[in-house]
């Protein structure tokens, strides 16, 4: 049975591998070059230092997925809105791991002042759009030809879900 826990520094090589496999060779992410372990270490430190989560999905002692969120926009007034991402290693997809990780991110975000989570998804990434719809996210916007990868324009689809309905505090 897979489990979820906060990522540790020694998980970063698996996270780097999953990100490069799932995100760089495809349009799941618009990174154009593989990221290095050092890049991921800087990313990990910049998030965790500010109490943003980096979670891993562990199956039989192997890291098979990770998820995180960080600021959607940098100005302080945007703090209630975060942008998340979820990556599952090839071969482990469609087995409920993405749902587990995203639910764990939502649990983490509740009680930390987060009101809305946003996924920014390549318009052609039908899997991720379908996954987010199943997870209660709705399409709230689309920027046509926002990105350029593999010599082609790509639309950015914004999918949001409100996770808290309380009054401002």
Ligand X SMILES: CC(C)(COP(=O)(O)OP(=O)(O)OC[C@H]1O[C@@H](n2cnc3c(N)ncnc32)[C@H](O)[C@@H]1OP(=O)(O)O)[C@@H](O)C(=O)NCCC(=O)NCCS
Structure tokens belonging to residue 123: 């318009």
11 touches 63 (CB < 8 A)? yes
156 touches 118 (CB < 8 A)? no
- The angle that helices 12-19 and 37-48 make with each other, rounded to 10 degrees, is 110
69 touches 82 (CB < 8 A)? yes
Residues near ligand X (CB under 6 A): 22, 28, 85-88, 93-99, 119, 121, 125, 127-128, 130-131, 134
Going by C-alpha positions, the residue among 124, 126, 109 that lies closest to residue 161 is 109
The nearer residue to ligand X, 98 or 123, going by C-beta atoms, is: 98
Minimum separation from the CB atom of position 134 to ligand X (A)? 4
The nearer residue to ligand X, 111 or 149, going by C-beta atoms, is: 149
The nearer residue to ligand X, 38 or 126, going by C-beta atoms, is: 126
Minimum separation from the CB atom of position 125 to ligand X (A)? 5
Q: How many helices (H) and strands (E) does the chain have?
A: 4, 7
Residue number with the shortest CB distance to ligand X? 98
The nearer residue to ligand X, 99 or 113, going by C-beta atoms, is: 99
Minimum separation from the CB atom of position 32 to ligand X (A)? 16
Residue 85 three-state SS: strand
Minimum separation from the CB atom of position 95 to ligand X (A)? 5
């Amino acid at each position: 049975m897979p489990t979820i826990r906060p990522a540790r520094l020694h998980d970063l090589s698996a996270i780097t591998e999953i990100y490069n496999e799932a995100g760089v060779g495809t349009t799941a992410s618009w990174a154009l070059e593989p990221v290095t372990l050092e890049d991921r270490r800087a990313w990990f430190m910049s998030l965790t230092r500010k109490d943003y989560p980096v979670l891993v999905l562990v199956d039989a002692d192997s890291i098979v997925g990770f998820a995180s969120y960080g600021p959607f926009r940098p100005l302080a007034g945007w703090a209630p809105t975060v942008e998340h991402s979820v990556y599952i290693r090839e071969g482990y997809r469609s087995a409920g791991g993405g749902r587990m990780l995203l639910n764990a991110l939502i649990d983490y975000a509740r009680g930390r002042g987060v009101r809305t989570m946003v996924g920014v998804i390549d318009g052609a990434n039908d899997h991720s759009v379908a996954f987010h719809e199943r997870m209660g996210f709705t399409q709230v916007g689309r920027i046509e030809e926002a990105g350029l990868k593999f010599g082609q324009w790509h639309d950015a689809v914004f999918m949001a879900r409100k996770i808290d309905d309380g009054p401002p505090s």
